[in-house]
Amino acid sequence: MPFFKKTLIAATFAAVISVSAQAKITVFAASSMTNAIEEATLEFLKSHPKDQISLSFASSSKLARQIENGAPANIYISANQKWMNYLQDKDAIVKDSRIDLVSNSLVMIAPENSKVSKVDLKNPAWVKLLGNSYLAVGDPDAVPAGRYAKEALTYLKDWDAVKAKLARAQNVRVALAYVERGESPLGIVYATDAKMSKQVKIVATFPAESHAKILYPASIIKGQDNKESREFLSYLASAEGKKIFERYGFVAK
């Protein structure tokens, strides 16, 4: 199915989030926003039962390039500024619709049953905890979470020691899955990803100054602007929408 569309059905809400090409609102969002956006969509449809919303989740870079190549998204939500700037430079977004929705933090995780309970990131000896295995991260060459990870590890002077020991995932949720399954003893993900999983635990939080602020910009795509898209984006930025994001560990703007 093109554009990784995902169908949600909530009979109790008497609403359907459709993957049909006839959907009025198509949202492309970073993988790390999956749970929050799904819940926000269902809540929005309670008061907009006639609307249809299609959701697509993947890495910010992949989604941005799909939009560049003509994918019919109405709204794009990126996990960093870079890919939103990329689309803005391509004149692909409605500039006056662009907002920063929420922020996030970067953490190191281990499997819930791991003997590792805390990692001192200031002590380079933590790298030895990987043994002959790999550190799960989003691919630093393409995935925002991976870029933040590289930036933080470089700041802590650990990048050279780990760059050859990376399990490069296609998005942050895949990196999370590597650790959940015990395939990697440690991983770097967003705090929100760690919070939603019962199979991992946070063993360290990266200093805020070690990487650029993790912001999630959102905008409407040029040529796909309509009343329904404006209403949904406004809902995400509203007090009610922010409460949903905060429940998943995001920090509302």
Pick out the residues of the known binding site: 32, 60, 145, 172, 190
HSE-up of residue 231 (Cα within 13 Å, Cβ side): 13
Closest CA to 134 of 171, 74, 98, 175: 175
The Cα-based distances of 91 to 73, 117, 216, 241 in angstroms read 15, 47, 19, 28
Question: Are 54 and 229 a contacting pair, CB within 8 Å?
Answer: no
Binding-site residue ranges for molybdate: 32, 60, 145, 172, 190
* Cβ atoms of residues 37 and 77 within 8 Å: yes
Q: Give 201's contacts (C-beta < 8 A, 6+ positions apart).
A: 109, 110, 111, 112, 114, 117, 194
Angle at 177 between CA 160 and CA 68, to 5 degrees: 80
Collapse the DSSP code of 238 into the 3-class scheme (helix H, G, I; strand E, B; otherwise coil) and give the result. Answer: coil
CB within 8 Å of 86: residues ≥ 6 apart: 64, 68
Burial tier of 182 (Cβ tally within 10 Å: 0-12, 13-18, 19+)? middle
Cα separation, 93 vs 71, in Å, equals 13
